[in-house]
Amino acid sequence: MGVQNILVIGAGQMGSGIAQVCAAAGYSVTLQDLKQEQLDRGLGIITKNLSRTVDKGRMTEEEKQAVLDRIQPTLDIEAARGADLVIEAAIEQMNIKKQIFAQLDELAPAHAILATNTSSLPITEIAAVTKRPEQVIGMHFMNPVPVMKLVEIIRGLATTDEVYQTIEDITKNIGKTPVEVNDFPGFISNRILLPMINEAIYALYEGVATKEAIDDVMKLGMNHPMGPLTLADFIGLDTCLYIMEVLHEGLGDSKYRPCPLLRKYVSAGWLGKKSGRGFYVYE
């Protein structure tokens, strides 16, 4: 059975981007979150992104409206009953993801594929709470979703070839490039990116340079589009911390220990751009 209806769980920065690109490709999308405020915020970001595309002459006002009309917001996870594919993009915590997947397994039709946008958590462990581990898979988008080409696709131990192929086809349909990666903590993207960011935070913590200088070195010296501290703020410092914890625990090597300064900022509620303050202050 083909995929037509996609349910996206979590209307944060990633969930809203995923809903946008799926709806733009013609899928019928339901976007679910726990709070109306988050749904409104997510839909606001999607509308702003699409309006920018209209302003650039790459989309008509009618096409924009058609994309918006294909996105149905809801607070009710019962929406899983109508889904062919669920893409989960709630927060990066194993206990939350397990709860969500157990519920989805109860609600979603037997043919539905359950995908997670986790940045680092083992797919096999998430799949194990369901009675359909062969239909559970990692579909790891990059931030900002409408811009970044990559989707890492990660099979759990039991994921079938058929399910992998369906997800690879959908990834291409929404204009992204799939790269297959094995199920190890942090996959490839965050096993390489996050230790670099964590090291930049250590450099700040140890007083090696100012935050601006650290970012300038990596931007001007390595041609990175954003410095590592700006990028950490952009990803979300909570997400950065969770990923480092997964790497530290999952790979068992002290080189992945999260910097105490990162912990302190997250405890203070300084989560980066999304909360208005991280290493930098945002309007």
Ligand X SMILES: NC(=O)C1=CN([C@@H]2O[C@H](COP(=O)(O)OP(=O)(O)OC[C@H]3O[C@@H](n4cnc5c(N)ncnc54)[C@H](OP(=O)(O)O)[C@@H]3O)[C@@H](O)[C@H]2O)C=CC1
Ligand Y SMILES: CC(=O)CC(=O)SCCNC(=O)CCNC(=O)[C@H](O)C(C)(C)COP(=O)(O)OP(=O)(O)OC[C@H]1O[C@@H](n2cnc3c(N)ncnc32)[C@H](O)[C@@H]1OP(=O)(O)O
Annotated binding site for NAD(+): 10-15, 33, 92, 97, 119, 143, 274
Q: Which residues of 177-205 are buried (b: 16+ CB within 10 A; e: fewer)?
A: ebbebebebbbbbbbebbbebbebbbbbe
Which of the ranges 112-120, 217-225, 245-253, 258-266 carries the binding residues for ligand X, by CB under 6 A?
112-120
Which helix (H) or strand (E) segment holds residue 18: the answer is: helix 13-24
Q: Work out the angle between the directed axes of helices 189-205 and 260-267 (0-180°, nearest 10).
A: 90
Position 12 contacts ligand X (CB under 6 A): yes
Q: Pull the structure tokens for residue 234.
A: 């952009």
Q: Which does 274 bind (CB under 5 to 8 A by kind): ligand X, ligand Y, none?
A: ligand X
Which position has the token pair 């970012």? 215
Which of the ranges 27-35, 175-183, 222-230, 258-266 carries the binding residues for ligand X, by CB under 6 A?
27-35
Strand order in the sheet with 150-155: 71-74, 28-32, 5-9, 85-88, 113-116, 136-141, 150-155, 177-181
Closest separation in Å from C-beta 57 to ligand X? 29
List 72, 143, 160, 275, residue binding ligand Y (CB under 6 A)? 143
What is the CA 188 to chain-centroid distance, rounded?
A: 15
Site for ligand Y in 203-232 (CB under 6 A): 225-226, 231
Position 93 contacts ligand Y (CB under 6 A): no
Which helix (H) or strand (E) segment holds residue 7: the answer is: strand 5-9
Q: Pull the structure tokens for residue 125.
A: 């462990």
Position 146 contacts ligand Y (CB under 6 A): yes
Q: Which does 89 bind (CB under 5 to 8 A by kind): ligand X, ligand Y, none?
A: ligand X
Look up 49 and say whether it is catalytic.
no
User: Which one, 92 or 183, has the nearer CB to ligand X?
Assistant: 92
Choice among 117, 190, 198, 245 that is catalytic: 190
Q: Per the annotation, where are the binding residues?
A: 10-15, 33, 92, 97, 119, 143, 274
Residue type, 198: N
Which of the ranges 20-28, 46-54, 198-206, 235-243 carries the binding residues for ligand X, by CB under 6 A?
235-243
What are φ and ψ of residue 21, in 5° steps? -70, -30
List 28, 135, 171, 190, residue binding ligand Y (CB under 6 A)? 190
List 35, 111, 172, 257, residue binding ligand X (CB under 6 A)? 35
Q: Pull the structure tokens for residue 160.
A: 């079938």
**Residue 264 and residue 125: Cα distance in Å, rounded?**
29
By CB under 6 A, name the binding residues for ligand Y.
49, 52, 56, 119, 142-144, 146-148, 189-190, 193, 225-226, 231, 235, 239
Q: Where in the sequence numbering do the catalytic residues fall?
A: 119, 140, 152, 190
